[in-house]
Amino acid sequence: MYEAASLPIQYRTLTEVVPEPAREVERVAALREAMLHYKEALAIVRKQKETGLWGGNLLAPAPSKAMGWKEVGTIYQYRRLLELAWPPDARVFRFADRFLFRLLSRDDDPALLVEFQRAAKSDAGLGLWARSMGGQAAAAALARGAHQDDPRLRGAAHRIASDISMYLRSELAQKPFKKAQGKTVLDPLTYPPTVFSVEMLAFMPAVQRERAGFLERLAAYFSVPTPRRSFFILAGKKIFRPLFEILGDPLHADSQGRITDVPFAVYWLELLTRLGIVRQVPSAAKVLARLYSECDDQGIWSPAGLRATPKSTNPVVYQYFPLEGPGKSPAQRQTDVTFRLALIARLLGIPLNPSVLLPRSRSCTGRCFGSVLRPVTRWPVAPGSRVPTRMARWKVWFPRVPRPARRLLIGRPAIGPSIRRHYSRCWRPGKGKRWTAWAERCAISRDRAIRQREKWLAVARWQTSSLSWSLARSGV
């Protein structure tokens, strides 16, 4: 990673993934100084206007003739600088913060409509939609920056969360569509989650603690498949395609966790992880297990047939992906996703081994960073959880996920009868032939596979003894 990754990835790896006691202070300081001269970040800073805006608009993730956007807008450039590890207290952010806080205050000044100012003069409905979306976008940008504890932002976050919660509990959540101008449109009375509101909540842990019930409803909402019918957004008299609204599960993964848009999937998985609901959304758990299963023995994301850097068809991830700069190195195709998976592992609380995170020489770079994706401990079974009969003596549960990822998800409560088939197929003790076949598929030796089996049987015995001790202590 230190040879192939860009400066933002290197700096954020040291500051966000590596445990604090294991960080090299001198290297962090050197990278922080180098980030102030990073070309892409400097180019964004130079484009800022005296008003604190970028591109003469607010919401544009990319140029769009239909919306009248010629350049990337303020919200996305603001968040792009933060993703590039630009200091959140820099002067460039202070200029933009003045405008963003005015949006939160719901000021009636027409200038706050920015790109919709002219059209809203004759279309009050469009103005209401623009103010609502602008307020959510401003809240997301400020929460991603250095204002999580600002009372103005906290008040706006609770107001947005209450509106979304009211929508999720209403009948409109079941039938959010209607007909208008010969097309299926989203009812203007609905208030579904947007990428802005979800990102705002993801970076405000204090609000999450205060709205635990709302997060449970949000997890249930994201577990429902998205509607199959195509629809449009009706904003006053104007109709356009949905861009920020989220109806149900946006991952569109199959039963095996395969996805076509890797950048958006990683972005969405990180948001759900920060919200603490990634394990409650079935499709997110499958996709995350699939991505981890595509990591090699060193922990580097290495899917089969990767011939180019993953690209997204969804423009809302402009600020998020890629962080890697231009280059022709094959390793640069993997650095972004590898860093994001490592960050998700860190956010999930999977203990990392600090002794191998920081390379002492360039020759061991890949192996050292790759160890971030390998947890050093496993999750024990919760006392009193149900365990299938055939597995009762081992007291562990292996979820039905892609096989190489099963070692990351051990000790979860048993769900459904398919677990018995998975256990008998993969982890039943004494099945040397099955282990030999698995070793051949994974291109490792049979001896190594047997050693791996013995290692996990030892973990299972430890979990059995731990569970027995817990039950005995509780008087069961």
DSSP annotation string for 245-270: B--SB-S---TT---S-HHHHHHHHH
**Has residue 473 got a pLDDT over 70?**
no
- DSSP, collapsed to helix, strand or coil, labels residue 158 as helix
**Has residue 451 got a pLDDT over 90?**
no
Domain map of the chain by residue range?
38-219, 380-476
Whether residue 322 contacts residue 309, with contact meaning beta carbons closer than 8 Å, is answered with yes
User: Residue 218: CB partners within 8 Å, gap ≥ 6?
Assistant: 164, 168, 193, 275, 277
- DSSP, collapsed to helix, strand or coil, labels residue 376 as coil
Tell me which H or E stretch contains 71.
Answer: none
Rg (CA), the chain: 24
Which pLDDT does position 108 carry in this prediction? 87
**Has residue 383 got a pLDDT over 60?**
no
pLDDT tens digits for 33-59?
999 999 999 999 999 998 899 988 999
User: Residue 187: CB partners within 8 Å, gap ≥ 6?
Assistant: 172, 176, 177, 178, 234
pLDDT tens digits for 312-364?
999 999 999 999 877 677 888 899 999 999 999 999 987 654 443 443 333 33
Tokens of 442: 């994974």
Percentage, residues of the chain above pLDDT 90: 55
- DSSP, collapsed to helix, strand or coil, labels residue 357 as coil
**Has residue 443 got a pLDDT over 60?**
no
**Closest by Cα among 10, 233, 214, 47 to 130:** 233
Which pLDDT does position 422 carry in this prediction? 42
pLDDT tens digits for 391-441?
333 333 333 434 444 444 444 443 444 434 444 444 444 444 454 444 445
> Which range (139-153, 200-214, 455-469) has the least confidence?
455-469
Residue with the larger pLDDT of the pair 71 and 464 = 71
Mean pLDDT of the region 172-198: 93
**Has residue 251 got a pLDDT over 90?**
yes
Which pLDDT does position 329 carry in this prediction? 76
Whether residue 220 contacts residue 209, with contact meaning beta carbons closer than 8 Å, is answered with no
